[in-house]
Structure 1
Amino acid sequence: MNSLFVYLVLVNCITFLVFGYDKNAARKSKNRIPERNLFILTLLGGTIGGLVAMKTFNHKTRKTSFIFTFYGIVLLQLFVLYLLFKNRYF
């Protein structure tokens, strides 16, 4: 369980930084991080980092397709957690 905690902290920090980098690149009209990569980081457990970055940097908050996909990933993660706890894998 300790290594899971360390993993989640790391992936959320990385996700936060990548979202911030992408927002900075958008402001400067530089090369952006593909949305697919942002979604992969979120799917890998960076949900909290992504949410905090979206609120902190006001990033991708108006793009409806991004919001729907992001929260779809969140719902999928919650469903998986429900199944794991229901079957007592944790």
Structure 2
Amino acid sequence: MNRETVFLIIILYIALNIAALLLFWIDKRRAMKEQYRIKESTLLTAGFLGPFGAIAGMEIFRHKTRKLKFKVVYLFPMVHLIIIYIIFFYFSI
């Protein structure tokens, strides 16, 4: 991988984390206003793709922190770090 590809991947990862944070914020606002909510499956997917943003959203907005299935979101960064380790060390980037 060249530098441009790595830079693009980093930008995409940051964008996914920001998107996850925003989804948790939007869902919290909708919950407070008793409006139509974002599906939990969508929030969990966002948590897998952007775990740091999802965790920040859960903690900052105190949203979905009691739900057992959302506790798994705290494990997603570990999965991402393992993938990054494999990419960088096994593929010698």
Superposition TM-score, scaled by structure 2 size: 0.77
Instruction: Confirm whether residue 47 of structure 1 aligns to residue 51 of structure 2.
Output: yes
Moved over 6 A (4+): none
How far, CA to CA, are the matches of 1:2 and 1:85 in structure 2?
14
Q: How many residue pairs get matched? A: 88
Question: Could you list the per-position Cα deviations for residues 12-71 of structure 1 after superposition, in whole angstroms to 9, with x for gaps in the alignment?
Answer: 111111110011111122111112111212222x1111111111101111212211x212
Identity %: 30
1:70 to 58, 70, 73: 73
Aligned to 1:82: 85
Aligned to 2:64: 60
Where structure 1 has 5 or more consecutive residues not aligned to the other structure, the ranges are none
Following superposition, the deviation at residue 88 of structure 1 comes to 3.6
How far, CA to CA, are the matches of 2:9 and 2:83 in structure 1?
16
Where structure 2 has 5 or more consecutive residues not aligned to the other structure, the ranges are 1-5
Root-mean-square deviation over aligned CA pairs? 1.8
Letter in 1 for 2:63: H
Superposition TM-score, scaled by structure 1 size: 0.79
Letter in 2 for 1:33: I
